[in-house]
């Protein structure tokens, strides 16, 4: 016999946990189905461990730019301590803490692989093969996330490449690492492993620049910083073949130029594929293997009755933890009977790239705003325009660009590059999401001598 709940959530990553937490807090009987670890990719193999690997090198880099401190920190980083810190931050890959949270949140955690088995029905297969059927009176939320995409390059799969799992979880620093890709994972992890002592790190990107979704000035500054930290960045380069007999030992990569590269490990950072191949989408008329397309209320399109929701990476809208959690809160609210649209996905999404220097970006880039036919004006200033930057450290490069809707005189987007700018981003997110008029921002006075005085320089450059 089926166990009945009000809501069944499949996938206990950040999105699933937040959707389930929200509906349970609203008084609905909620089951959360998880096949691996509560907390998902983000907690164990993505956001948290990657930032744990990047923070000590960032502090070391900041110290090396600070007179007096520079002289005191001449030694290289202690990689084994950093790896131990990473292990601590992922709780030794144990989800006891999250299970405790779920208990307090009054969720029923069901361990096993969940699959839709028709409308409002989820079949869970546990590790020992036992199955349990759950029905949902109100809604099913699909939050199964994503995994690394490994393209069909001859020999790549057989070479047993690192994905984000080994790329964030490896127990020792490889001597020679090749990173395939030029997105955020590639930028962050190539810098992390180089800073931790890898002798050779080579990043291979097929397009002309890395980080193609950012404002070009931001991508250029990160690319320059990667090169300065010793990463070999090769753009307009594709891998055509990979050779690693038995999937261990030295890896040989053939490039489209015909040249070969040798490495001890190869990390695939070529984007994600949504985890929808084996979740029973076909039983409700959707196509397996594709993102579950949703409307702004987070309801799956093409499913009658509006009972199926999808949030987080699985819907392909914004592959970021905080946006998955945002969608999850709204999906929860909508299941509880509110009608809250997830409009920030399309126009106010923030992202921080935790390289050194950091990039913080929110909203639309100039190119995206122009593509949408908006009346765009931009202003850009260097971080060296404010006293706070030189107090923070010496020789920092960075800058900020604002994208303004010239008709409405509100911000459409902002991009910051520089040390610690991630913590400055939220002011811009408030201005973009709140559509704060520039004339009002003029009265939001930044404190002196903080780096955020750059807001004043930007508004002056705009003509206020």
Ligand X SMILES: Cc1cc2nc3c(=O)[nH]c(=O)nc-3n(C[C@H](O)[C@H](O)[C@H](O)COP(=O)(O)OP(=O)(O)OC[C@H]3O[C@@H](n4cnc5c(N)ncnc54)[C@H](O)[C@@H]3O)c2cc1C
Ligand Y SMILES: NC(=O)c1ccc[n+]([C@@H]2O[C@H](COP(=O)([O-])OP(=O)(O)OC[C@H]3O[C@@H](n4cnc5c(N)ncnc54)[C@H](O)[C@@H]3O)[C@@H](O)[C@H]2O)c1
Binding site for ligand Y (CB under 6 A): 151, 181-186, 188, 205-207, 212, 238, 269-272, 319-320, 351-354
194 is in an annotated binding site: no
385 is in an annotated binding site: no
Q: Least Å distance between CB 331 and ligand Y?
A: 20
34 lies in the binding site for ligand X (CB under 6 A): yes
The residue behind tokens 């405790």 is: 100
CA 201-207-210 angle, to 5 degrees, is: 50
291 binds, among ligand X, ligand Y, none (CB under 5 to 8 A by kind): none
C-beta closer to ligand X: residue 211 or 376:
211
- d(Cα 276, Cα 278) in Å, to the nearest integer? 6
Distances (CA, A) of 205 to 28, 158, 256: 47, 21, 12
- d(Cα 227, Cα 155) in Å, to the nearest integer? 28
14 binds, among ligand X, ligand Y, none (CB under 5 to 8 A by kind): ligand X
Nearest CA among 145, 453, 191, 81 for reference residue 311 = 145
- d(Cα 363, Cα 76) in Å, to the nearest integer? 38
155 is in an annotated binding site: no
**Which residue in the set 7, 8, 9, 15 belongs to the binding site for ligand X (CB under 6 A)?**
15
The residue behind tokens 């996938």 is: 11
Ramachandran angles phi, psi of 197, nearest 5°: 115, 5
Binding-residue pattern over the window 137 to 176 for ligand X, x denoting contact by CB under 6 A:
------xxxx-----------------x---x--------
**Which residue in the set 5, 7, 8, 11 belongs to the binding site for ligand X (CB under 6 A)?**
11
Q: What tokens were used for 3?
A: 């166990």
398 lies in the binding site for ligand X (CB under 6 A): no
C-beta closer to ligand X: residue 6 or 95:
95
188 is in an annotated binding site: yes
> Would you call 293 exposed, middle or buried from its count of C-beta atoms within 10 A (0-12, 13-18, 19+)?
middle
197 is in an annotated binding site: no
**Which residue in the set 56, 114, 155, 398 belongs to the binding site for ligand X (CB under 6 A)?**
114
- d(Cα 266, Cα 252) in Å, to the nearest integer? 9
Note the residues at the interface with ligand X (CB under 6 A): 10-16, 33-36, 40-42, 46-47, 50-51, 113-114, 143-146, 164, 168, 185, 275, 279, 312-314, 319-322, 324
């Amino acid at each position: 016999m089926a166990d009945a709940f009000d809501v069944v959530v499949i996938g206990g990553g950040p999105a699933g946990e937040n959707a389930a937490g929200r509906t349970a807090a609203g008084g609905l009987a909620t089951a959360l189905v998880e096949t691996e670890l509560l907390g998902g990719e983000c907690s164990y193999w993505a956001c948290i461990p990657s930032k744990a690997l990047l923070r000590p090198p960032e502090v070391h880099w900041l110290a090396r730019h600070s007179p007096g401190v520079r002289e005191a920190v001449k030694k290289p980083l202690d990689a084994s301590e950093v790896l131990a810190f990473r292990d601590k931050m992922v709780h030794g890959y144990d989800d006891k803490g999250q299970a405790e949270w779920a208990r307090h949140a009054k969720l029923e955690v069901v361990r096993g692989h969940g699959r839709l088995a028709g409308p409002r029905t989820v079949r869970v297969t546990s590790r020992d093969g036992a199955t349990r059927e759950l029905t949902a009176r109100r809604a099913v939320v699909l939050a199964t996330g994503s995994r690394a995409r490994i393209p069909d390059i001859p020999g790549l799969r057989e070479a047993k490449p690192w994905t984000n799992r080994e790329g964030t979880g490896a127990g020792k620093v490889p001597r020679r690492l090749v990173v395939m890709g030029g997105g955020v994972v590639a930028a962050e992890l190539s810098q992390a492993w180089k800073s931790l002592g890898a002798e050779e790190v080579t990043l291979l990107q097929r397009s002309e620049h890395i980080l193609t979704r950012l404002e070009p000035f931001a991508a250029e500054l990160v690319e320059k910083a990667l090169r300065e930290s010793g990463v070999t960045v090769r753009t307009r380069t594709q891998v055509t073949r990979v050779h690693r007999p038995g999937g261990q030992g030295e890896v040989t990569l053939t490039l489209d130029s015909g040249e070969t590269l040798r490495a001890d490990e190869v990390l695939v950072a070529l984007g994600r594929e949504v985890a929808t191949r084996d979740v029973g989408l076909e039983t409700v008329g959707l196509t397996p293997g594709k993102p579950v397309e949703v409307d702004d209320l987070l309801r799956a399109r093409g499913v009658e009755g509006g009972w199926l929701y999808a949030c987080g990476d699985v819907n392909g809208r914004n592959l970021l933890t905080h946006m998955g959690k945002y969608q999850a809160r709204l999906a929860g609210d909508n299941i509880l009977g509110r009608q809250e649209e997830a409009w920030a996905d399309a126009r106010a999404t923030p992202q921080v790239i935790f390289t050194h220097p950091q990039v913080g970006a929110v909203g639309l880039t100039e190119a995206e705003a122009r593509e949408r036919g908006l009346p765009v004006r931009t202003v850009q200033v260097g971080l060296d325009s404010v006293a706070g930057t030189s107090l923070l450290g010496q020789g920092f490069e960075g800058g900020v660009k604002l994208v303004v809707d010239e008709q409405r005189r509100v911000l459409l987007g902002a991009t910051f590059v520089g040390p610690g700018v991630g913590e400055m981003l939220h002011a811009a997110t408030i201005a973009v999401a709140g559509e704060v008029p520039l004339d009002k921002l003029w009265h939001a006075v930044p404190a002196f001598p903080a780096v955020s005085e750059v807001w004043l320089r930007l508004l002056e450059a705009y003509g206020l």
